[in-house]
Chain A
């Protein structure tokens, strides 16, 4: 048994008082969870602490909170690990973000999470009358959507979605991952309609900023952002949905830019994302950006010559790779969640992100 300090953020909206921090000392084994710690404090010291929980085994998704500033399940983190990650030895527990607080650590999931879930029509919409017996589906296509089916609706990804922080109408990571669960399901008959709806919504799939917070937050490996990218890929490449948000146009402007230049030529990317320099849609956007462009020229960041003439041309090998991959009938996607990751060979200790082998680092 060991003593730990929990620093809880307390708040009772109906009291009219501001939120405040309160510390509790608990006595538990380090391998017990943060949730166990909160429940001990509630049991022995203050019965009024508000926390929602049920299974205590990371499967019901009820106890989503922020621990030391990061979203996750309170039952899914050991006390000794939490204390290691704490800034000053006290384990800081707060309610999740992006959702209104009902009391202490309990947030209003109905107001945000479940409402957004409803938004993506989270049920199967098959075409035509159902078959006489069951639907027959190839195993591969069901394996493909198992990643999104692993979601336990805890809201950890919604809590720290940085797009939602500035645009509360953003459909968000959890609901969009759910949308892929149906877009990826061959029994569903409304793939195009679903994607068109999500692409045209100004707060839909093209409102995600690639910040990876949802991937980091998810306790189940759902990787919502990766699912959003798959929705974009299918919307653009398979259904050629040319959305009003410039999402698909931007993607293609970028890809074509690299195919042509090898390196990104920013001066073309902006107008091309709106349909080209002289497109009626581009003109007001470029006018709005004019102050920034002029400032950049004035500071010598960009010269008019550099902006108009791009000296760099793609290596012919780069163009060959573009042609080779684009000529394929089917996209080849590797999902490590499904395939699993091979272990690194013993002798080679450098990981994906390039850890230094011990013998080469002066710090080790």
Chain B
């Protein structure tokens, strides 16, 4: 059976032709594929720049309600492209200023994407690849996926992606991966047990499963989901009481929204709701 997710809908908004990524839409689902399979989808400077635009394109497309990202080939993502670092004379220097200024734009979280984001981990996820696991809202994985954090083994400090992970799953597992480096890999099964991913799927069914999950999520109110996302990610920033205070603001923010009439009405009339067109709130000025 052909993989239906590779047969995109005609989109009302043609996407940019990227060098390192593929974008398409299938129904309400916007797909973002890492497309450097020969380099295990490593992020080179080009991909880093393209990701910043790709997230915003999908977030702004009114026909997209949920975003799924995955990788072409055997890897999901293996972090910064070490071959480029080794050969172009710039090495990590090219990123130093952005890091010092904390001016990063390659994940959905960094780009303050308002729509739900599902990461579908199709194969190995290594090092910087954890950025997209830690910064996704929902993560599913192929049963054959593997996770490893080689940064320390090559003398690099891993931090931002591990810090994201340790807000979302047990600390010990994150610290163990960070300290053991490339000398160990975590199985998809253990990632599932620890709650790093919520569903395991045979590799040939991963994209269909991601599409199916995304379509479920797409049945919910976009405005309500955007506010829920802000409340839950915001809660990772503060203590419990303060998070609830800020969460209250999000709850109240959707009061009076047309979706709050439409939801119950559709339920009573036994039909799918017709939600208001989502609006992307433009990101705050402060970078993250």
Chains A and B are bound partners? no
Q: Which B residues fall within an 8 A CB radius of A?
A: none
Q: Which A residues fall within an 8 A CB radius of B?
A: none
